Homo-oligomer: A and B are copies of this chain.
Amino acid sequence: MYFEHSEKVKELQEKLTTFMEDHIYPNEALYEEQLKKEDRFSEIPKIMEELKAKAKEEGLWNLFLPESEYGAGLTNMEYAPLCEIMGRSAIAPEVFNCAAPDTGNMEVLVRYGTEEQKKQWLEPLLRGEIRSCFSMTEPDVASSDATNVQTSITKVGDEYVINGTKWWSSGAGDPRCKISIVMGKNDPDAARHEQQSMILVPLDSEGVTIKRLLPVFGYDHAPHGHAEIEFKNVRVPASNLLWDEGKGFAIAQGRLGPGRIHHCMRTIGAAERALELMCERVQSRQAFGKPLADQGVVREWIADSRIEIEQARLLTLKAAYMMDTVGNKEAQSEIAMIKVVAPNMALKVIDRAIQAFGAAGVSGDFELAANWANIRTLRLADGPDEVHRRAIAKYELAKDYGRNAVHARQ
């Protein structure tokens, strides 16, 4: 057991922190201002491309992507603390080309894409020129059960025809978003987890219609957006299929491991910043003759927040360690655990900070309310908490508790 990051990671942490302080935090408000008033989805705030250029210049680019020639050569464990720092600001991940859902999609392309697919989609994604979305969830069924998927992917000649409606295709509102990875059924008669396939669908394909962009607790999340997309007789070349027919579920499983850990680390970063804001606020505000920090439960909130953040971070790092050492499959119980822990922890920490901020906390003057709303979706995205708890329990119940459990005092 060893609880310190390597020198390489410490240096990157410092570099990233400096970048955040010099370039990200001071430009958060500007980013918001630069969104077009009339149509917040029509154009990307200029400051974003400027920041991306700076980040690339400093080598803070594509830090994700373990075990791949395309990335920065970091393991999940090494990337985790960096991802946490990026999570401190809503605009940061994109600046470093480490934003969801692109990172997950790039991983899929790296692992399962053909050379041609890589050339056409992975490379511009890695350069930060285009963006992508992931179309899995459907409005009409409980998508927590992947076998409920209704969208069809049917081979007709040398093409696949896609029909169905997806929603929560996050990022599809962005004018730079060019490609979606779509999950659908190609063979409803195959074994339960071999009915699904994944396929690359350019968003400008005929028959693709973005019906609307869904708000999250009143936020439109422009220019990113969460799209409901109709696929109506959409035809793409058969070569757009990822891996093989019937491999959709397997790809999803592979994609979700790293995706989840990234979400968790970013979430921890957001919680950490909320705690900092709270500590600063309660020392600077007075009520009833003394700072809020000296009243009632405030210190209890701070202590509990610190405790919960520390624990969630350690568990997430352990999950990353296991992914690196025994593989995503063996780490699945740990990944499920952090998927439950991190968002729930962050929601509690941020909610306390909101309460400490008073009415300002629910407004747009601080990141708190927006972060809360965003993180609330993570208790549902990639499977609701309940499905993950089910998986953890299943794993636990299957253990052989050997000679211990049976021994009672009786």
Report how far A77 CA is from B283 CA in the complex, Å: 36
B401 contacts A279, CB within 8 Å?
yes
B292 contacts A142, CB within 8 Å?
yes
Q: Secondary structure of the A side of the interface?
A: helix
Contact A287 B409, CB 8 Å, known A303-B340, A389-B300: no
A156 within 8 A of B: no
CB of A191 to closest CB in B, whole Å: 15
CB of A408 to closest CB in B, whole Å: 5
- Residue of A217, A321, A364 with most chain B CB atoms under a 10 A cut-off: A217
A358 contacts B299, CB within 8 Å?
no
CB of A340 to closest CB in B, whole Å: 6
A409 contacts B340, CB within 8 Å?
no
Q: Which residues of B contact A32 (CB under 8 A)?
A: 409
Q: Which residues of B contact A401 (CB under 8 A)?
A: 276, 279-280
A230 within 8 A of B: no
B310 contacts A397, CB within 8 Å?
no
CB of A100 to closest CB in B, whole Å: 15
Among B25, B362, B393, B406, contact of A299 (Cβ-Cβ < 8 Å): B393
A384 contacts B355, CB within 8 Å?
yes
A327 within 8 A of B: no
Bin the interface of chain A by size. 35 or more
A247 within 8 A of B: no
A296 within 8 A of B: yes
Contact A2 B216, CB 8 Å, known A340-B307, A389-B300, A396-B306: no
Q: Which residues of B contact A380 (CB under 8 A)?
A: 355, 358-359, 361-362
* This chain's copy number in the assembly: 4
A295 within 8 A of B: yes
Q: What does the 1/0 interface line of A357-397 toward B look like (CB < 8 Å)?
A: 01111111111011011001101110011101110111011
- Residue of A148, A293, A337, A363 with most chain B CB atoms under a 10 A cut-off: A363
Q: Please, could you name 16 A-B residue pairs with CB atoms under 8 Å apart, sorted by A?
A: A25-B407, A26-B407, A167-B359, A216-B369, A217-B369, A218-B364, A218-B370, A277-B405, A279-B399, A279-B401, A300-B386, A302-B393, A307-B341, A310-B337, A359-B381, A364-B409
Known: A279-B401, A299-B397. 19 other contacts (CB 8 A): A1-B6, A1-B317, A3-B318, A21-B403, A139-B360, A168-B359, A215-B363, A279-B396, A296-B300, A296-B386, A299-B390, A303-B340, A303-B390, A307-B340, A310-B337, A311-B315, A355-B386, A365-B409, A373-B373
Residue positions of A touching B, CB distance < 8 A? 1-6, 20-21, 25-26, 28-29, 32, 77, 88, 137, 139, 141-145, 148, 167-168, 214-220, 273, 275-277, 279-280, 282-283, 285-288, 292-293, 295-300, 302-304, 306-307, 310-312, 314-315, 317-318, 321-322, 333-334, 337, 340-341, 354-355, 358-367, 369-370, 372-373, 376-377, 379-381, 384-386, 388-390, 392-394, 396-397, 399, 401-410
